[in-house]
Structure 1
Amino acid sequence: MHSDLPTCNPPRRHDIDALRVLAFVLLILYHVGMFYVADWGWHAKSSHVAEWLKWPMLVVNQWRMPLIFLISGLAVHFLLRRVTPGAFAWSRVRRLLLPLAFGMAVVVPPQAYVQALSTGAFEGSYLDFLVRYFTFQPWPVDAFDGWEAGITWNHLWYLPYLLVYSLLLAAALPLLRSRVGRAFQGWVQGLRGVRLWLLPALPLTLATWTLSAAFPTTHDLLNDWHTHAQSLAMFMLGYWIGTDPGAWAELRRRRWTWLGAALSTFALFTVLLYATEPGPTVGRALYDFVQRLNQWTWLLLVLGWGHHLLDRPFRWMPWASASVYPWYVLHQSITVVAGFYLARLSLGPVIEPVLVLLATGAGCVLLTDGLVRHSAVLRLLMGMPTRPTAGPSQPAGVAKENRTGAEDAGPVEAGNPATVRS
């Protein structure tokens, strides 16, 4: 029988810390790519779009957000070993709602302004835009993502979704910790081999079959039921897997198997992507299954190889782990604004994307280390730990950022590759 409440402190899982940071770095790179990939709509686009970029984007598109939700579930598993359900629920409200509100008020509006300029829906100054934006009135159709409500959370949609899932989990803890709940968790942790590869993909496929047509991805919290089914499933899988040594040993032991399976399912997925006609057909049902199996297989691959390669202390990890939440909040606005204005300079298809990538990375680091890290108020509003403390992943005498505040953030959607937005 597996327990969420061990009698001793487990060893620190450095690979989970590292995977969380790397998942958000991948997200940042993905969003820079969205500015340049051909035929995929986004908030703003360069004139230097590339067809070849679809392939690396397709590789990560199906599992990048499921990975973030799964890691979030793992973080919740760790956190609930140390705090009461009530304290956990309050910490999630504070850690997620404040950055969401601040982000919607300060960080996200530049994206909406640039998109409104690029669509021709607005021609005034940024100050004029803000005056109208904060009246919460509907905008012209497709002026920017979220035009219907007059205000948007864009890439920050992950935060309210994670908050809802966390509060639901806190409310369900009596059931999850009951005999039945522990038995089911033990069953999940006991999956091995083919069962581990196939069985989790089945409910994901069923959700797609039953919900995707009626509820396409919108990031409207109240009506985004297909996204909820996928994301909540990943969140709960992370919680259920937790730190079970047998489950993680299986992930690591079969890492080469996952690699072969991931390449094979992706190859089949791409064939079906271009060969399957729209509509409720047998071919479409097969495509949906392969898509979800491909998604889950890549997650197995990432977790298995991550556990093999990353479960050791890295000197950069305390800094990166504490910084990654502000990076997430800041990065897309920097990318969209920098890309929009650099595209006007006719710098060419090499210099322009290099500068957009550098502006995004440097902007995240400079704003976080030069501004946010030095202000207690901004740290709170951007989700950073409020103070550094000593931690088990560092050498004696070296301070690190508070683990609790750094482990639970992240953002962005999984969806049809041709319609990905945030």
Structure 2
Amino acid sequence: MDNPTRRHDIDALRVLAFGLLILYHLGMLYVAHWDFHLKSTHAAHWLQYPMIFLNRWRMELLFLISGLAVHFLRKRTSLPRLAWKRTVRLLLPLLFGMAVVVPIQPYVEGLGTGLVQPGFGQFLLRYWTGGPWPAHAFSGWNYGVTWNHLWYLAYLWNYTLILLLIMPLLESAPVRRVRERLEGLRGAALLVLPSLPLWLIGQLADHYPMTHALMGDWFAHALYGTIFLYGYLLGTSSRLWDELTRLRHISLTTALASFTVYIGLDRFADTLIGHAPTPLDIAIGVPLIQFTQYLYMWTALMAVLGWGRAHLNRPFRWLPYTREAVFPWYILHQSIMLGLAWPVLHMGLGPIAEPTLILLGTVLGCAVGHEIIRRIGWLRMFFGLEPKERQPRPLHYASLAQEHS
């Protein structure tokens, strides 16, 4: 039975966010001039715009929801138990995924670069022993093994453990008073002020570009860690959530407007000013572009949460099943997609049939994989699922008679 106090909108947004991740990774096969493990010959330049539209907040939404999840779990368990549960739930799938699920990705990427010889069994043995590999054979070749899309689990585990370590400070009286003031933010203050720290963090991007390698990835840690903390602090404050719901039209309008300004300045600045940028143009324009980028990021997140609270906070019939399916689908989807894409990209299909076949195959593969995983007790924990609940043994009439004799 569902918990009557459960936030169904957060569950639904988590499901939708991971579904969006699958579509985004499919788009990476087809967006022109963006690096990915494989690329189609049907790559299109126009795809950059919808991809940028999603790219500026999609992972931030996942980290925000993950911070919210820690807030909800903290109310139900002790810090040591919570740390252990999150370690098992995140690190077991990460290690299992790197060893069993992910290897197909560097294999087909290596085939694409021509630096890995055909033969998956031979590749797998070499992969499990850490290489070595020819330079640039695949993403992460220099580490011998790779976690590819599962980097999110490693980052999330680190942020969770750090948050739990500082939890006594966050729950202290002085910090609670600060949090109460933050929970009182209204209107424009809620839509603008939290974006300012993100804008300042953005200054690290040029010096520490994202690598997803964990060590030295300072811009990513500062950005995702801050968003994760925002999610925890947002928590269940009814005042904040009521305000997010009230502001949902304004936050959506602000997000769309700031995205338009951001893209206009970033892509068409030369055309807009009519000449090559001067040092003064750059000194003014670059901070403005960055500010609109992070304002867009934050207001888009606020719009998603506000609209979700208004329309998704109900016990949909599809939600319990999809809520369980999220983790297995996340772990499986990119390996299935790339494993399927390698032969499909060489079939000479058109720009509609090719991505449609890959998407349908990915969805079918994830659905079948999830159905297998959820039925095998020992396998569930390697895909982030809770152990199967043991059903009570049925009592036969003879047993009942003996009990009451």
- What is the 5 A alignment of 1:18-417? 18-209=12-203, 211-275=204-268, 281-369=283-371, 371-388=372-389
Given that 1:70 and 1:235 are in contact with CA atoms closer than 8 Å, whether structure 2 keeps it comes out as yes
Structure 2 Cα separation of the partners of residues 19 and 382 of structure 1:
20
Contact 1:278 1:284 in 2 (8 A): no
Stretches of structure 1 lacking an aligned partner (at least 5 in a row):
1-8, 391-422
Partner of 2:400: none
Alpha-carbon distance in 1 for matches of 2:181, 2:217: 29
Question: Tell me, what secondary structure is at the counterpart of 1:374?
Answer: coil
Identify the residue that residue 417 of structure 1 maps to in structure 2: none
Separation (CA, whole Å) in 1 of partners of 2:364 and 2:42: 22
What are the Cα deviations for residues 356-412 of structure 1, in whole angstroms up to 9, with x where unaligned? 01011111111101x10111111011111212599xxxxxxxxxxxxxxxxxxxxxx
Structure 2 CA distance, aligned partners of 1:20 and 1:389? 27
Distance 1:301 1:317 in 2: 21
| Distance apart, 1:140 and its partner CA | 2.2
Residue 185 of structure 1 contacts residue 241 of structure 1 at CA under 8 Å; is this kept in 2?
Answer: no
Q: Secondary structure at the match of 2:13?
A: helix
- CA deviation vs aligned residue, 1:196-216 (integer Å, no higher than 9, x gap): 11111111111111x212210
Q: Distance in 2 between matches of 1:178 and 1:18?
A: 32
Code of the residue aligned with 1:386 in structure 2: it is P
Letter in 2 for 1:92: R
Q: State the distance in 2 between where 1:91 and 1:342 align.
A: 40
Q: Distance in 2 between matches of 1:57 and 1:389?
A: 44
Q: Is the 8 A contact 1:188 1:241 kept in 2?
A: no
TM-score, normalised on structure 1?
0.87
Structure 2 length-normalised TM: 0.91
Q: Is the 8 A contact 1:28 1:331 kept in 2?
A: yes
CA deviations over 1:53-98 (Å, ceiling 9, x no partner) = 2222121110000000000011110000000000000001100010
**Percent of aligned pairs with the same residue?**
49
Q: Hey, which of these two has a bigger chunk of helix by percent?
A: 2
Task: Give the superposition deviation at 1:313.
Answer: 0.7
Structure 1 distance, partners of 2:220, 2:283, is: 22
Q: Distance in 2 between matches of 1:97 and 1:192?
A: 38
For residue 10 of structure 1, report the CA deviation from its aligned partner. Answer: 7.7
Aligned length: 380
CA–CA distance in 2 between the matches of 1:381 and 1:278?
55
For residues 247-274 of structure 1, what are the alpha-carbon distances to aligned partners after superposition, in whole Å with 9 as ceiling and x for unaligned? 0111110111112111101101101221
Higher relative contact order (CA 8 A, sep 6+): 1
What value does the CA root-mean-square deviation take over the aligned residues? 1.8
Q: Which residue of 2 aligns with 1:419?
A: none
- Once the two structures are TM-superposed, the CA of residue 192 in structure 1 deviates from its matched residue by 1.1
**Shift in Å, 1:184:** 2.3
Instruction: Using the TM superposition, name which of 42-51 and 298-307 deviates more.
Output: 42-51
Per-residue CA deviations over 1:200-253 (Å, capped at 9, x if unaligned) read: 1111111111x2122100011121110011101111111111111110111110
